Amino acid sequence: MEKYDLAIIGAGPVGLFAASFANLHGLKTITFDALDEVGGQINMLYPQKDIKDIPAFSSIKGKELVSRLFEQTENTKLTLSHKVKKISFSTGEDIIIDDDYQVKSLLIATGLGAFKPKTLPLSTTPELQAHIHYSMQHSEIFSNKKVAILGGGDSALDWALELSKTSDVYVVHRRNEFRGLESSVSQLKSLKNVELLTPYLPKELHLNNNRIELVLHRVGASHDFITKDVDEILVAYGFKSDNRQLRKWGIELENNLISVSQTMQTNLPHVYAIGDAITYPGRVPMIALGFGEAQIAISSIMQDLFPEKTMTFHSTSI
């Protein structure tokens, strides 16, 4: 059985930073992620977005932030395409992960859980499916094309702004109001190559000479249909997240999120949690806040595992 001081579940931005901070403190660490790429929500949902609230960067692309975080983890072990299913406790105080890894402490950074996109509820063929996408991971697919983005939340607006730089964009939403930043909506309205189609719902799809005929139904008007010809469809209906695992592990939850103490400890011994997976009064789902929680958790884990050591909090001392 492989042995580590610490296992981190989740290689989203917060799990990645925790792994590098654990390495700075000399903890032998392994990090798991269910996906085959690191970066969690950033990588899946908004790799091209210019993020403007990361300290020391006036603006940084999601993809760039993930790659910098990944670089920092170079001395730690990363196991991708591994969804952690089981945790148990050995007769000592160690924690056993999926019967294969024995660790002294565990840090849960699973965000909202392993996620799957909500799919487009229309009948399609395999040929049509090839033109229906659920993420911007491979943005080059959409360059210089006509793209319909379906949805009205932050992801739909972010994707539309990004794609407007290279493509003609329709944003199709079932309500007149969008669930995102008003500034993004205003910016989109000002762009000549972007059309906001509201309140419309996609009704049918047909493939004609490798182009998609997208039939839209005006919500509330039974005979009002329009058809748009597009090359690709990007569905932004959100994600279903699955964190049922946490309950099975015996972790105390509040509204499906993990309750933690001020030191990020869960109700289980040597099990800590950080990032979007957790809740406490006033918490907001922000990356930088998760970084701070990672520092609190790793410092607590150090004190927990090595109570005899005089703790050095900073990576360098003067």
Ligand X SMILES: Cc1cc2nc3c(=O)[nH]c(=O)nc-3n(C[C@H](O)[C@H](O)[C@H](O)COP(=O)(O)OP(=O)(O)OC[C@H]3O[C@@H](n4cnc5c(N)ncnc54)[C@H](O)[C@@H]3O)c2cc1C
Q: Does 114 bind ligand X (CB under 6 A)?
A: yes
- Determine whether the annotation assigns residue 316 to a binding site: yes
253-254: strand order across its sheet = 253-254, 257-259, 278-279
Could you tell me if 178 and 157 are in contact, meaning their C-beta atoms sit under 8 angstroms apart? Answer: yes
The residue among 264 and 287 lying less far from ligand X, judged by its C-beta, is 287
Out of 73, 275, 301, 302, the only residue in the binding site for ligand X (CB under 6 A) is: 275
Using CA atoms, how far apart are residues 104 and 33, in angstroms rounded to an integer?
19
Tokens for 66?
């993930």
Near ligand X by CB under 6 A: residue from 8, 14, 27, 169:
14
Contacts with ligand X in 180-199 (CB under 6 A)? none
Nearest-CA neighbor of 90 among 77, 78, 99? 99
Contacting range for ligand X; rule: CB under 6 A; set: 42-50, 139-147, 216-224, 227-235: 42-50
Going by C-alpha positions, the residue among 164, 152, 172 that lies closest to residue 188 is: 164
Q: Binding to ligand X by residue 293, rule CB under 6 A? A: no
Asked if residue 129 belongs to a known ligand binding site, the reply is no
Binding to ligand X by residue 285, rule CB under 6 A?
yes
Q: What is the DSSP string of 167-225?
A: SEEEEE-SSSS-BS-HHHHHHHHT-TTEEEETTEEEEEEEEETTEEEEEEEETT-TT-E
Q: Is residue 12 close enough to count as binding ligand X by CB under 6 A?
A: yes
Number of residues that bind ligand X (CB under 6 A): 38
Cβ proximity to ligand X: between 202 and 290 the closer is 290
Give the β-pairing of 114-117 and 239-242. Answer: antiparallel
* Interface pattern 122-161 for ligand X (x via CB under 6 A): --------------------------------xx--x---
Task: Please choose, out of 5-13, 140-148, 164-172, 182-190, the segment that lies near ligand X by the rule CB under 6 A.
Answer: 5-13
Q: Is 22 in the site for ligand X (CB under 6 A)?
A: no
The CA–CA distances, whole Å, from 61 to 16, 54, 115, 182, 313 equal 17, 10, 22, 21, 30
Least Å distance, CB 63 to ligand X, is 13
Its sign, for the CA torsion 223, 215, 154, 127, is positive
Residues of this chain, 200-229, that bind ligand X according to CB under 6 A: none
* Chain contacts with ligand X (rule: CB under 6 A): 9-15, 32-35, 40-42, 45-46, 51, 53, 83-84, 109-114, 154-155, 158, 245, 275-277, 285-288, 290
Residues making up the binding site for FAD: 33, 41, 46, 84, 115, 276, 316
